[in-house]
Amino acid sequence: MKILMVATNFEAPVGGGGQKSLRILVDALRKEGHSVIVAALSHGEVGEVDVDGIPVRYLPVRNLYRPIDTVRASAASRMAWHAADIYNLPSMHDFRRLCGEVQPDIVHSHVISGLSVSIWSAARAARLPIVHTLRDQYLFCPKTTMFKNGSVCARQCADCALLRLPHRKVSRHVTGVIGCSQYILDKHLAGGFFAGVAVKDVIYNARTPAAIGLPLSPQCSASTRNKVRIGYIGTLAPSKGVEILLEAFRDIDPEQAELWLAGTGEGAYVHGLKEAFCKENIVFLGRVKPRDFYPEVDVVAVPSIWNDTFPGVVFESLAYGRPVIGSRRGGIPEMVQHGVNGLLFDPASADELRQSIERLIFDGALRTQMAAAAVSSSETFLDTERFAREHVNFYERAIAARLDGIG
């Protein structure tokens, strides 16, 4: 099968979670003998480039800048960028030409900011089946998070609705839609997207053990120290719930446990956190590689306030045999089984989080039991053959639906 993948970003070295999942899927499909071509926005040269043996067709940027570039754009420039990203006609024409050149059996889109939903129209005009994977809330919100002023948006605001005016209608051009979590698929279907789309399913992300630096025995570095070490790894940002975690840890006995925070964030924000939560048992590590972090902690906290779609930190932690204390938001409850491989809490309650932390601090037997369950529950997320197989099955269903004239 010839598959044309399309995403905003596809570079080496691999960047964020979405690109990691795409790269692993591309590698897994190629290993199974499928032909995969990737289309992405150019970060320099336009045309075909070999990226680690993968043919990548870099398309020209038809907006003011690439959305992933580190730029200090003015408010006016950002608004102009978002206006162009509502339905980018030049990108549509570029992608239509590419479809004609490549002649794939199917098109699979991932993160499409900067390209826009116009590429779906291009694929439909080329009479190609197109599958889209939902990884964020881009179709609802230009910022992709539906998180504003320190809280989750209960509904789509007027500004977002205006900048997303054609998206529900254009989403009907898609033949099949995949959610990387049940949460994100259900949210979009309930929001009126992909009405009449024939093929819908959830396919969980996967990582290779080597990609996360997993040792042969994930529990071989189990803690022998007197203090229980709670860990957090990721961006230090309000949406990630860092403050509620620190607040919950404020009254934890320093003789019993310590909190390690790995990651970086906006300078003034991180400085404020360090000043407000200055305790001997709270340690800010800065940027740390996951493979160097997980073996050094006993439990991992994922206290997201926003509806995090399917954070890889959860299944990475489980793969290392580290129980997860996670918020009941987004796709987190789809990985954390309360009382089995971790604990779930309401992120609106620092007290409930503190109680969960204390439960795992003082119950060593429960930590050990959960550590074993964590490893077994992570197996599906480390199975890249499963990841490829489920996608191929989905592609076959989408192609059949397109041939039957229902997609």
pLDDT band of 19, cuts 50, 70, 90:
confident
pLDDT band of 43, cuts 50, 70, 90:
confident
CATH topology of domain 2-206+383-403: Rossmann fold (3.40.50)
Q: Which helix (H) or strand (E) holds 38?
A: strand 35-41
Residues 268-283: what's their mean pLDDT? 94
End-to-end Cα separation, the chain, in angstroms = 19
Which pLDDT does position 286 carry in this prediction?
Answer: 95
Q: What is the DSSP string of 366-404?
A: HHHHHHHHHHHHTGGGG-HHHHHHHHHHHHHHHHHHHHT
CA distance 273 to 201: 40
CA distance 23 to 27: 6
Per-residue pLDDT of 375-389, as tens digits, reads 999 999 999 999 999
Look at residue 81 and tell me whether its pLDDT is greater than 80. yes
Between 11 and 150, the more confident residue is: 150
Residues 27-36: what's their mean pLDDT? 96
CA distance 255 to 156: 46
Which pLDDT does position 131 carry in this prediction?
Answer: 98
What are all long-range contacts of 121-126, with beta carbons under 8 Å and residues at least 24 apart? Answer: 121/92, 121/170, 121/173, 122/92, 122/93, 122/95, 122/96, 123/95, 123/99, 123/173, 124/173, 125/96, 126/96, 126/99, 126/100
Q: What percent of the chain has pLDDT over 70?
A: 95
Q: Which helix (H) or strand (E) holds 362?
A: helix 350-362
Q: Give the CATH number of domain 213-381; options: 3.60.20.10, 3.40.1160.10, 3.40.640.10, 3.40.50.2000.
A: 3.40.50.2000
Q: Where are the domains of the chain?
A: 2-206+383-403, 213-381
Helix ranges (DSSP H) in 157-289: 158-163, 167-170, 182-190, 242-249, 267-276
Per-residue pLDDT of 201-234, as tens digits, reads 999 999 999 888 887 555 545 555 689 999 999 9
CA distance 333 to 329: 7
CA distance 193 to 174: 10
Which pLDDT does position 406 carry in this prediction?
Answer: 58
Are 121 and 171 within 8 A, CB to CB?
Answer: no
Question: Do the domains at 2-206+383-403 and 213-381 have one common CATH topology?
Answer: yes
